Structure 1
């Protein structure tokens, strides 16, 4: 009888008769490279699951011979394996094997052209020289990925790009195996620390940069410190729930999708924990959606400046560095607390709401406790 009445009268106002299939919220990417789309090309990128075997090699140069121990450099990076294990809810473990000797590169450090805008070909030449120099001591056939660590004395190797093999090219081959992924660390590792490993390795999984390539007044104006793919040293470096879903660390069963007109209410457990419903998604177009998730000062996010329901817009057509995720600031006129940055106080609190009338999206935060938020998402 109740079902018949619903058919005759429709669902009560603000209540969805049925929930939408989660597939309706798994937006596809359109950039052809790293983006926030759910159709990651694993013929190009590395699957972020299980144990990944990583060979770490150490290089110095004729113009910059090493004077420190390889252990000094590796200690700056290897804690990143534990950090990624926790951030992935135990879904990825980096088994890093170190070759604890310096191998000499054939050219001076200043000859490798390290600068922003480094081309794929120039970067590949650096990887090729590093692998060839270490090949007498390392069996590259046993590794999924390579980390190349330069001596601290090589100032010219200034920053840390990620190398991904381009299908159809000769690439870099050692011990009968193609080196498909490599991270070539630079002197910025001494600034960013071990979480740099989580940022760069995630590029091999297909994640884009969330900071702005066009720095303008603030390179971190899109997401602030809310994700390691943005500001590596940010207060909340845990990967967004959307990215955790894209990477397979969050299951479809943990996603609430509201793609059609209607309303849903759900309790969201904080993304720093592995269990429970992780986010609610409201698509606004073929490549755009609003997402709400809960954040708490635990696990990788112990340094948070504010907790609550974090709302952000995803655009899977936006290229890396051009705002594929943009956080909504619940308190745009507020001054962040000391030591905090703009957007660090972005979460919505119980009793607050987000509304984009032009997109027909409303998100109400109905309540909160120590583990998450109860929210209502509405699409009109």
Structure 2
């Protein structure tokens, strides 16, 4: 029987999305408008890659393990529960990455019995570190007889959704600064899933994004009350998995290696300049590598203005309003503190009430003939038209 070893310090240092900084490796992002990676948690810097995270520019393998508890007899079948997540999550990433990233799920078809009751682990959103470490240690040990962890890049632990101690608000990533060990492999990344069936839309894709060093883009009110989606609204699932336009920002696709430097256009602002942008979620076509999908204006040492085109296609098929979207990026701002903030092209309006997670930003993109000026940086963006093949023409300059 394979034995599980755990580094003692890791069991008291389990913090969701805990890794802050790590070894740097070169990336394709060598343009002058590429912000440097900082020590901020899940920094939006793109000049180097934090090699302590797997980069999703190739195929990666994930095992999905279903956990039951002594205080509840599972009603659902693991194979049926797995259909709540796959193939939808793999398809989401396939579209988002233009086929560069393949998430290969390996579904365990039998329940793995945990040694303690579901209520004993104190499962909740702001989970006590001691309870969380006990849960992970027990889960790895219980699954080790049937799972060779050395075969996988990431682990999804899915709890019985009908167990009394399961809190659906507790789903999150756990990254370890000191790994657990099993099957002669270091285990650093777990997604602990406590969803009801059916689960929140795109929840697994959101949590998997943290495995790849993407930050939370939502705003969490200090008292837990109020609106969570004031920073980015429906745009990018790292803001809200319920968003109408969940395709990752072009900036994130650049960071992850799904867009290369030749698909990023840097504007120097020595005067007004004209650029064309291919719709972000449009599928890859011949010659696509030479058609920019991201326009960047460097505004400071750790800041930039990013501009992209969003349309009702692919992951964004339910988008509220098509057009050119602009947002500020701050590489020295930590996850959850607003590293990305969308600029509202229609500040006096709102749209898609009842379906949008934040209607004031649902109509943020600019249409043809519209413009906005960023008061923070004095950059004016104007959409001047569309090309014959549907690309957007954008003019940028100083206000």
**RMSD across aligned C-alpha pairs, in angstroms?**
2.0
User: What residue number does 1:232 align with?
Assistant: 241
CA contact (8 A) 1:189 1:196 kept: no
Does residue 74 of structure 2 align to residue 66 of structure 1?
A: yes
User: What residue number does 2:209 align with?
Assistant: 202
Change (3 A) 1:39 1:65: farther
Does residue 391 of structure 2 align to residue 372 of structure 1?
A: yes
Does residue 363 of structure 2 align to residue 345 of structure 1?
A: yes
- Structure with higher Rg: it is 1
1:109-133 residue CA offsets vs partner (Å, 9 max, x unmatched): 1222322332555434322211111
Query: Cα offset for 1:263?
Result: 3.3
Q: List gaps (5 residues or longer) in structure 1.
A: 1-20
Q: Distance in 2 between matches of 1:37 and 1:119?
A: 30
Q: Distance in 2 between matches of 1:100 and 1:176?
A: 24
Does residue 308 of structure 2 align to residue 293 of structure 1?
A: yes
Larger deviation, residues 311-320 vs 235-244: 311-320
Does residue 116 of structure 2 align to residue 107 of structure 1?
A: yes
What does 1:70-219 correspond to in 2, within 5 Å? Answer: 70-78=78-86, 79-118=88-127, 122-158=131-167, 159-166=170-177, 169=178, 171-187=179-195, 190-193=198-201, 195-214=202-221, 216-219=225-228
Q: Which of 46, 49, 53 is 2:57 aligned to?
A: 49
Q: Distance in 2 between matches of 1:160 and 1:68?
A: 19
1:68-104 residue CA offsets vs partner (Å, 9 max, x unmatched): 1111211111121111111111111111111111111
Q: List gaps (5 residues or longer) in structure 2.
A: 1-28
Q: Distance in 2 between matches of 1:131 and 1:249?
A: 32
Change (3 A) 1:330 1:260: closer
SS of residue matched to 2:203: helix
What does 1:255-334 correspond to in 2, within 5 Å? Answer: 255-259=264-268, 261-273=270-282, 274=284, 275=288, 276-334=291-349
Query: Cα offset for 1:291?
Result: 1.1
CA contact (8 A) 2:218 2:232 kept: yes
Query: Cα offset for 1:337?
Result: 3.5
Q: Distance in 2 between matches of 1:156 and 1:28?
A: 43
Q: Distance in 2 between matches of 1:121 and 1:262?
A: 57
CA contact (8 A) 1:155 1:187 kept: no
Change (3 A) 1:97 1:241: same
TM-score, normalising length: structure 1: 0.88
User: What residue number does 1:354 align with?
Assistant: 372
CA contact (8 A) 2:276 2:391 kept: yes
User: What residue number does 2:19 align with?
Assistant: none
How many equivalent pairs are there?
356
TM-score, normalising length: structure 2: 0.84
Query: Cα offset for 1:356?
Result: 2.7
SS of residue matched to 2:373: strand
Q: Distance in 2 between matches of 1:93 and 1:101?
A: 25
CA contact (8 A) 1:212 1:221 kept: yes
Change (3 A) 1:278 1:217: same
Q: Distance in 2 between matches of 1:317 and 1:141?
A: 34
